[in-house]
Amino acid sequence: MQRPHPPEDFSLKETSPHLGGTGFTGDKHTSTYDLVEQMQYLYVRVVKAKDLPTKDVTGSCDPYVEVKLGNYKGNTPHFEKKTNPEWNRVFAFSKDRLQASVLEVLVKDKDLVKDDIIGRIVFDLNEVPKRVPPDSPLAPQWYRLDDRKGDKVKGELMLAVWMGTQADEAFPEAWHSDAAAVSSDGLANIRSKVYLSPKLWYLRVNVIEAQDLLPSDKGRYPEVYVKAILGNQGLRTRISPSKNINPLWNEDLFLASEPFEEHLILSVEDRVGPNKDEVLGRCVIPLLSVQRRLDHRPVNTKWYNLENHVVVDGEKKEINFASKIHLGFVWMVVIMFWMSPHITVVIVGPLQNKCGSKALVFWNWEY
């Protein structure tokens, strides 16, 4: 008979995952979305266009979008001969460096000599809405294109514009304005030289307990631990202090979890002698089956069957009676970005804060 599940523990835990750089310092778990320094950004998400007209003598349209704010501009890639292109690109402009009161979004037709302007949309920055997570993401809208005189022209563009911070979900994927250099025509192009790998997902595996293990030697107290293998990473828990067939650990293992197509292999092993371990059971967890979310909902734990076999007359035979292991999974995100003269690392994970409410908690440190 399976024992009742132990009560779920959402209290803060002191952990020391190997994430590179220095460790946590001080008390950072103070409130939801507690960032060391909030940085304001103007976000522009360019989704897609439709019904664009053909502009050149060839009768084709090679569209791209230019997002322009004062002395800064950023371009999407261009498509050849496509009147209904889709980009889904995000641009971020630091509020501290805003040099204009209006944002101009232009749809252009790529040409060998000079790019033609198909149409544009102008936004007054004073009317741009603000968004702070966990507010719902701002839904993109269709906008009819105007010409330079403000008259409507053929074609529409779907986009969203909002003010936010580096806590926004769009921050890691955005291309950021760069004030370090200005080109000869007075415009600094947006480029993602910092964001070669802007974020890294870590999988926190909470190894809780195992049940009904079947060690080969029934006359000794088993010394059981759990080993986790993901790609070329390998971690293990301590040997359970409860030396029986129902061991307890409640220990966390942290593994970098990209790409998500890989499988996490967990094995329960018994230390039967010096440099000699016996595998009591294994389970394979596809990472694609683990939900990636960062919200306040409780973390669900689950019992998994441990596969095992015995050797009879030189042949492997599966054991019908399955031992079990009790696990919980939590995703954590490591985001690195430049905050000159330092690199700031933000780690995001769902935990319970000191006031007792379950929430997202941000940790920050610089090096």
pLDDT band (50, 70, 90) for residue 191: very low
**What does 76-129 look like in DSSP terms, one character per residue?**
PPP-SS-SS-EEEEEEEEEGGG---SEEEEEEEE--SS-PEEEEEEEEEGGGPP
Judged by DSSP in three states, 149 sits in coil
Question: Which of 4-13, 334-343, 353-362 shows the lowest mean pLDDT across its residues?
Answer: 353-362
Neighbours of 200 (CB within 10 A): 17
Residue whose pair of structure tokens reads 């088993």 in the numeric block: 222
Residue 145 CA to residue 256 CA, distance in Å, equals 44
CA–CA gap between residue 308 and residue 3 (Å, rounded): 21
| Nearest 10 degrees: Cα torsion 32, 38, 41, 43 | -20
Query: What structural domains and CATH numbers belong to the chain?
Result: 1-30+199-367 (2.60.40.150), 40-196 (2.60.40.150)
Would you call 140 helix, strand, or coil by DSSP?
coil
- Contact by Cβ (8 Å): 248, 208: yes
Whether the model pTM is above 0.85? no
List the alpha helices (DSSP H) in 290-341: none
Encoded tokens for 342: 């330092």
Lowest mean pLDDT among 137-151, 173-187, 265-279: 173-187
Q: φ and ψ at 18, to 5 degrees?
A: -85, 100
What does the pLDDT average to over 110-134? 88
Residue pLDDT, tens place only, 225-253? 999 998 888 899 999 999 999 999 999 99
Helix (H, G, I), strand (E, B) or coil at 214: coil
- Residue 282's pLDDT band (boundaries 50, 70, 90)? very high
Amino acid at 21: G
Backbone angles phi and psi of 125, in degrees to 5 = -60, -25
- pLDDT at 142 > cutoff 90: yes
Mean predicted confidence (pLDDT) in 276-284 = 92
Pick the more confident residue, 120 or 59.
120
| Type of residue found at 294 | L
Q: What is the mean pLDDT of residues 189-200?
A: 44
Coil, helix or strand for 326?
strand
Q: Is the separation of the CB atoms in 300 and 328 below 8 Å? A: yes
Question: Model confidence over 5-58: pLDDT tens digits?
Answer: 555 554 544 444 444 333 333 333 333 344 345 778 899 999 999 999 986 566
With tokens 């950004």, the residue in question is 41
Looking at this protein, which amino acid is placed at residue 212? D
